Chains A and B, each alone.
Chain A
Amino acid sequence: MFPKPIAQSGPWTQRAYKTLLPIALVLWLLPLIGIAITSIRPGSDLASGNYFGMPSGFAGWENYSSVFKNSNIGYYILNSFRVTIPTVIGAVGLSCLTGYALAVYKFKGNLAVFFMFVAGNFVPFQILAIPVRDLTLHMGLYNTMTGLVLFHIAFQTGFCTLFMRNFMKALPFALIESARVEGVSEFRIFWHIILPLVRPAMAALAVLIFTFIWNDYFWATVMAQSVDVRPVTAGMNELKGQYKVAWELISAAAIVAALPPVAMFFLMQKHFIAGLTLGATKG
């Protein structure tokens, strides 16, 4: 293990390390802690210049309920779920199929198709934006959930395919061979043998894509205009204009907007990190 385990060093080093840890954490999260405290501060604190001291009272309840009552944030959050969930299902579903084809079959063009997905995944959004918005407009899906979701599914399929294909490559191939000898059809092999084995990969992808799409801002701005479509990231920026310097309210809204992916992360931490660090250990 590197660095040397702290348990093997002197008691002073150990004590120093254990004191340093929380200090480092507080410094690291200082901006976040600041905004969390601001979100429960009474507005009068900010008016009287009490920005960093102890809040003069707990106004969390007022601030948070005021954000929900006086802004569209409730709709925006709902919209974010309505974009995110279908995208997760669509992209994970499609990539199970593509990943399976690319991992299990040897055919001409296999690597070419694979690297098309990989490379496409890295392109800047701006080179897609004009044609994609135009296409969506022509399909009559501009400023609709469906328009936004279809694009997200297509784009995320790139990353998901990379992930699924590499995961499936590591599965025992003998399993598929013996099923083939038994005369099981290719689709049934996929459905009954492979899918149950890739559940951990599906879970990892689901949390990752959930976070990516929830946090997407560019497409939310470009493809959604109205209150009933606009996801919370794009909505937040609008709130910032509405509240101007009422930072206790902006902070409360920011915390609300950040909560779903944070909850997702803490609930599914193992899967999340497994997904993110795929490839960080080998290759």
Chain B
Amino acid sequence: MQKSTQAGFWKKNQRALAPWFFMAPGIIMFLVYVIYPIFQSIGISFYEWDGLGPKTYVGLQNYRDLLDDDSFYTSLKNNVIWLVLYLLAIPAGLAVALFLNQTVAGIRLYKSLFFFPFVISQVVVGLIFTWFYAPGFGILPHVINFFTGTPTAILADDKYATYGVIAAGLWPQTAYCMILYLTGLNNISPDQVEAARMDNAKGWSMLWHIIIPQLRPATFIALVVTVIGALRSFDLISVMTVGGPFGSTRVLSYFMYEQSLSEYGTAMGYGAAIAVVLFAIMLVFISLFIVRMLSQERNA
């Protein structure tokens, strides 16, 4: 008797309970490893802590210290430079995609090879560009020497180093945007393009008025991945400059790593405060993306 009522309960409520059973493992993992740690980090940022000993509550002191720290401003400035210059990957990706959107023999292979830089890890990209920039045996200093007469060692010069690292990052990022746009171009309605051609639209005006509006979904995704990629930049800096010369290529993510995670980094509270600032900046963008995706969901 007992058993049959249980079975009846399950039968009646199966539809309501099933989704939670399906989601439980994923949700638990995600809460434990992603959502909860965000709040823990915010908590840690109010303490002074070396990672092992007891924590001392210091209120907003870590944040006040940040405001007096030149490295913080350098990092913040570099984050802005990264963000602005990284956005170049979007028009560059579109340009490459337009260049490759043809149907000549072997074009598929060309497209794959142009996409190549994105598949390689950033560590390898960083090594490749370090070599490319290296004074003496890199190609670029020779080229610069040819034009200006002085072989500039880009990564050793605090004026240029950040730009050198960003250029390395733009290489795979442009490839990524290119593939998004190639897919977008593939799905453009040929009727509209033909109709516009009948109306004598061509070249730039065609691109601006007919093509780009139809590429909006691709542009949105390109924007999301580029902004997030720019603010997450870490690998290239770690491999190419280790934050130097003189800390001039630090960004918030790398600054945080130095403070809390590297071999000598034991300032957990301070690092957490840096991470919270980075998180707050990203939250602005994440919210914008989510709002847009949510309105799409509602319209669907």
Contacts and interface: CB of A to CB of B under 8 A. Distances in A.
A5 B103 contact: yes
B32 A154 contact: yes
Contacts of B6: none
Contacts of B112: 265-266, 269
Contacts of B90: none
B275 A129 contact: yes
A32 B202 CA distance: 36
B93 to A, nearest CB: 11
B58 interface: no
Interface stretch (B61-69, B144-152, B157-165, B187-195): B187-195
Interface in B207-233: 207, 210-211, 217-218, 220-221, 224, 228, 231-232
Given A29-B116, A111-B294, A279-B221, A218 B234 contact: yes
Contacts of B124: 236, 254, 257-258
B60 interface: no
Interface in B75-111: 98-99, 101-104, 107, 110
Contacts of B234: 125, 217-218
Interface in A166-190: 185-187, 190
Interface in B123-165: 123-124, 127-129, 131-132, 134, 137-139, 142
A97 B26 contact: yes
B241 interface: no
B221 A2 contact: no
Contacts of A52: 139, 142
A157 interface: yes
B116 A32 contact: yes
Contacts of B211: 2
B271 A123 contact: no
A128 B34 CA distance: 7
A214 interface: yes
B113 interface: yes
Interface string B30-44: 101111111011001
A105 B15 contact: yes
A6 B102 contact: yes
A219 B147 CA distance: 42
Given A2-B207, A262-B116, A277-B180, A123 B38 contact: yes
B121 A35 contact: no
Interface centre among A3, A5, A186 (most CB of B within 10 A): A3
Interface in A131-166: 131-135, 150-151, 153-155, 157-158, 161
B171 interface: yes
A77 interface: no
B198 interface: no
Contacts of B29: 94, 150, 153-154, 157
Interface residues of A, number: 101
B279 interface: yes
Given A251-B131, A277-B179, A261 B121 contact: yes
A120 interface: yes
Contact of B41 (A117, A130, A214): A130
Contact of B261 (A102, A129, A155): A129
Contacts of B116: 29, 32, 262
Interface stretch (A17-25, A55-63, A67-75, A197-205): A17-25
A102 B23 contact: yes
A30 B220 CA distance: 30
Nearest to B14: A186
B286 A240 contact: no
A127 B41 CA distance: 6
Given A34-B128, A126-B279, 5 more contacts: A25-B110, A127-B41, A128-B37, A186-B14, A281-B183
Interface of A: 1-7, 14, 17-18, 21, 24-25, 28-32, 34-35, 38, 46, 49, 51-52, 94-95, 97-98, 100-102, 104-105, 107, 110-111, 113, 115-120, 122-135, 150-151, 153-155, 157-158, 161, 185-187, 190, 211, 214-215, 217-218, 221-222, 233, 236-237, 240, 245, 247, 250-251, 254, 257-258, 261-262, 265-266, 269, 273, 276-277, 279-283
List the 7 closest A-B pairs by CB distance, nearest first: A215-B121, A154-B33, A131-B37, A101-B19, A98-B26, A101-B22, A131-B40
